[in-house]
Amino acid sequence: MESGARGLILTACDRLALSRGLKPDERLADARARVPDLASVLAEPERDAAMLLRLARWAERWSPAVMPDAPDGLMLDATGVAHLFGGEAMLIADIKGQCGRLRFTARAAIAGTPPAARALARFSRKAILGPGSEREGLSTLPVEALGLKAETCHTLARLGLKTIGDLCRVPRASLARRFRSDRSGHVLKALDEALGLADCPLRPLAPEPALVVRHCVMDPILTHEGIEAILTLLAQTLSARLADAGHGALRVELKLYRTDASRAVVPAGLSRPSRDPRHLVRLITPRLGEVDLGFGVDAATLEALATAPLDYRQRELDGAPPAGGIELAALTDRIANRPDGGTLSRFRLIESHLPERAESFAAPGFGETPQAPLPPESGAPGAVPARPLVLLDHPEEASVIAAVPDGPPVRFTWRRLSRRVVRADGPERIAPEWWTVPPGASPARLRDYYVVEDEDGRRYWLFREGLYGEGEAVSPRWYVHGLFA
């Protein structure tokens, strides 16, 4: 379903839904009134299109020329292909079988022109139409089979022109005169294309840019230096290919093919797209040391497995890489790709009044969130900062003497040392995040935070959980949560 002007609209129904009488283009509310236990998900046309593209690539197994026919069709140029699969009927059977294996229901047909094949597949049980027999073979199909706009079909039906055969019998001039504009959907053109009277070429998908580069050597290489030299060559070629595509690599793999038909794989990941050959080499080289070259390597490939768009950026005049944090990214990449890798993480700030929820660790790399602001500062200029330098991983309980109900600590004992408070500020009252507690569970208690300074000038961050005199069975408890200095 998708959001439309009339509310949520069904865009597609599965077989079960169809059997219960639901149809696309219906309002979700209406559908639910009839089928209350209807399960629905939001439509994702982009993902559907991506899926169709993947299917089209996959269908290249049958023909080198495949064209996606949005939203739910594929066109294959079967010229000179069918005999490879044992004839046209066998080809169709194979296609249906393979699609069925992927749990797709496929309808397939072969005809002399692409529109004719589409018409057969979608509107007829017949699967194969010999070249030249379109006029006859299609004549009983409805005009909708020509792929015309619904509005045009509707007008044609009102005129009594309901099948392709009906259309064929109308003088061409009369038809041309009445259905010529774009809005009418080029009836004559569609008809001619289907009947093979006008050319209707397929526009197959362009071959995928191969982001694999290969290097072969006559004599097997036995030294790591030799491999490095090949790697440098490969990186330069790959970089050029990437530049052509306007992309940068995010994940690359070096594959070394040994003379004994085994191979070694060295992967590397990047935190932001790059096609700098030197950077790629530097990422892979440190890990070459562990690769066993065996009896020698006679071929190597370098492949960009994942890429992302990357604009070209000019280097500085002195040859330094362009500004903008590239060096830092390069550095993190290098550290993260070290053989003992995975030692890097970075802080992420989360907007939350609760101190321990306000920060978390994340792996370096993509999805950098903008830094969240600190809670609004209300202290005087030059006062102690809002949050301590050190936040204890777990608040540590302390015993405290303080005035009821919400006076600051006067004395407290923490880690077996008793401290006398000479200065204090607070309370800063922080309520629990009610929405994180399941309803019915005992709600978390609020916290009163205090900044206190002891006789030695050390500053602590203490909080009391709960209030005195709340009428609760458990009396409030005190914790030390952080240290300022």
Partner 1 sequence: MSGYAELQVTSNFSFLRGASHPEELAATTRALGLTALAVTDRNSLAGIVRAHVAAKEVGLRFVVGVRLDLEEKLSLLAWPSDRAAYGRLTRLLTVGQRRADKGECILRLDDVAEFQEGLILALIPPDGWPDEDFSSRLAALRRRFDGAVYLAAQRRFSRGDRARLNRLAALAHRHGAPMLASNDVLYHHPARKALQDVLTCVREKCTIAEAGFRLTANAERHLKTPEEMLRLFAGHEDAVERTLEVADAARFSLDELRYEYPEEPVPAGLDADAYLERLAWEGAAGRYPAGIPDKVRTTIARELVLIKKLNYARYFLTVNDIVCFARAQDEPILCQGRGSAANSAVCYAIGITAVDPAEIDLLFERFVSEERKEPPDIDVDFEHERREEVIQYIYRRYGREKAGLAATVITYRGRSAVREVGKVMGLSEDTTAALSGIVWGRMSEEMSETRLREAGLDPADPLLRRVLDLSAEITGFPRHLSQHVGGFVLTRERLDETVPIGNAAMEDRTVIEWDKDDIDALGILKVDVLALGMLTCIRKCFSLIEAWYGVKYSLASVPREDASVYDMLCRADSVGVFQVESRAQMNMLPRLKPRSFYDLVIEVAIVRPGPIQGDMVHPYLRRRDGLEPEDYPAPDPRFGHPDELKAVLGRTKGVPLFQEQAMKLAMVAAEFTPGELNELRKAMATFRRRGTIGRLEDKMVRRMIERGYAEDFARRCFNQIKGFGEYGFPESHAASFAHLVYVSAWLKHHYPAVFACGLLNSQPMGFYAPAQIVRDAREHGVEVRPPDTGFSEWDCGLEDALFKREPPPPAPPHKGEGSSPALRLGLRLIDGLKEVDGRQVSEAALPSPLWGGAGGGGSFRRPPTPTLPHKGGGSNDAAPSSPTALHRAGVPVAALERLAAADAFRSSGLDRRQALWEVKALSKAKPLPLFAHAGASDAGADLPVTLPEMPAGEHVVNDYQTLKLSLKAHPMRFLRERALAEGVIDNAALKSLRDARFVTIAGIVLVRQRPGSAKGVVFATLEDEFAVANIVVWPKVLERFRPVVMGARLMLVKGRIQRAGDIIHVVANRIEDRTGWLSLLMAEPKAFASPLARADEVARPGYDLRQPAARHPRNVRIIPKSRDFH
Pick 6 or 315: Cβ nearer partner 1? 6
Out of 98, 139, 232, 259, the only residue in the binding site for partner 1 (CB under 8 A) is 139
**Minimum separation from the CB atom of position 431 to partner 1 (A):** 4
Q: Is 74 a residue that touches partner 1 (CB under 8 A)? A: no
Nearest Cα neighbor of 77 from 116, 122, 113 is: 113
Whether residue 408 contacts residue 426, with contact meaning beta carbons closer than 8 Å, is answered with yes
Please give the residues from 227 up to 256 whose contact with partner 1 meets the rule CB under 8 A: none
**Minimum separation from the CB atom of position 7 to partner 1 (A):** 8
Other C-beta atoms lying within 10 Å of the C-beta of residue 48? 15
**Minimum separation from the CB atom of position 57 to partner 1 (A):** 25
Whether residue 107 contacts residue 69, with contact meaning beta carbons closer than 8 Å, is answered with no
- What's the Cα-to-Cα distance from 236 to each of 211, 230, 240, 255, 310, rounded to whole Å? 12, 10, 6, 16, 17
Please identify, among the stretches 78-86, 160-168, 208-216, 236-244, the one whose residues bind partner 1 according to the rule CB under 8 A: 160-168
Q: Is 171 a residue that touches partner 1 (CB under 8 A)? A: yes
Q: Which amino acid is at 439?
A: P
Out of 63, 155, 285, 301, the only residue in the binding site for partner 1 (CB under 8 A) is 155
Out of 373, 457, 469, 471, the only residue in the binding site for partner 1 (CB under 8 A) is 373
Pick 248 or 388: Cβ nearer partner 1? 388
Q: How many Cα atoms occupy the beta-carbon half-sphere of 296 within 13 Å? A: 9
Q: Is 90 a residue that touches partner 1 (CB under 8 A)? A: no
Out of 16, 29, 216, 265, the only residue in the binding site for partner 1 (CB under 8 A) is 29
Please give the residues from 191 up to 210 whose contact with partner 1 meets the rule CB under 8 A: none
Number of residues in contact with partner 1 under rule CB under 8 A? 89
Q: Is 431 a residue that touches partner 1 (CB under 8 A)? A: yes
Out of 93, 176, 222, 391, the only residue in the binding site for partner 1 (CB under 8 A) is 176
Q: Is 353 a residue that touches partner 1 (CB under 8 A)? A: yes
Out of 79, 105, 174, 369, the only residue in the binding site for partner 1 (CB under 8 A) is 174
Q: Is 471 a residue that touches partner 1 (CB under 8 A)? A: no
Q: Is 460 a residue that touches partner 1 (CB under 8 A)? A: no
Q: Is 446 a residue that touches partner 1 (CB under 8 A)? A: yes
Token pair in block for residue 5: 């002007």
Token pair in block for residue 326: 């590239």
Please identify, among the stretches 27-35, 235-243, 313-321, 468-476, the one whose residues bind partner 1 according to the rule CB under 8 A: 27-35
Other C-beta atoms lying within 10 Å of the C-beta of residue 279? 22
**Measured at the alpha carbon of residue 33, what is the angle toward residues 27 and 37, in degrees to the nearest 5?**
100
Write each residue from 402 to 421 as x if it is in contact with partner 1 (CB under 8 A), else as -, in one continuous string.
--------------------
Rounded Cα distance between 276 and 31, Å, is 55
Q: Is 169 a residue that touches partner 1 (CB under 8 A)? A: yes
Pick 72 or 244: Cβ nearer partner 1? 72
The alpha helices in 83-207, defined as continuous H runs, are 88-101, 114-123, 134-138, 150-158, 164-169, 172-178, 187-195
Please give the residues from 259 up to 288 whose contact with partner 1 meets the rule CB under 8 A: none
Whether residue 38 contacts residue 17, with contact meaning beta carbons closer than 8 Å, is answered with yes
**Minimum separation from the CB atom of position 122 to partner 1 (A):** 5
Whether residue 134 contacts residue 113, with contact meaning beta carbons closer than 8 Å, is answered with yes
Task: Look at residue 207 and give its three-state secondary structure.
Answer: coil
Strands 73-76 and 247-258: unpaired
The beta-strand segments (E) located in 224-291 are 247-258, 263-274
Out of 63, 110, 137, 179, the only residue in the binding site for partner 1 (CB under 8 A) is 179
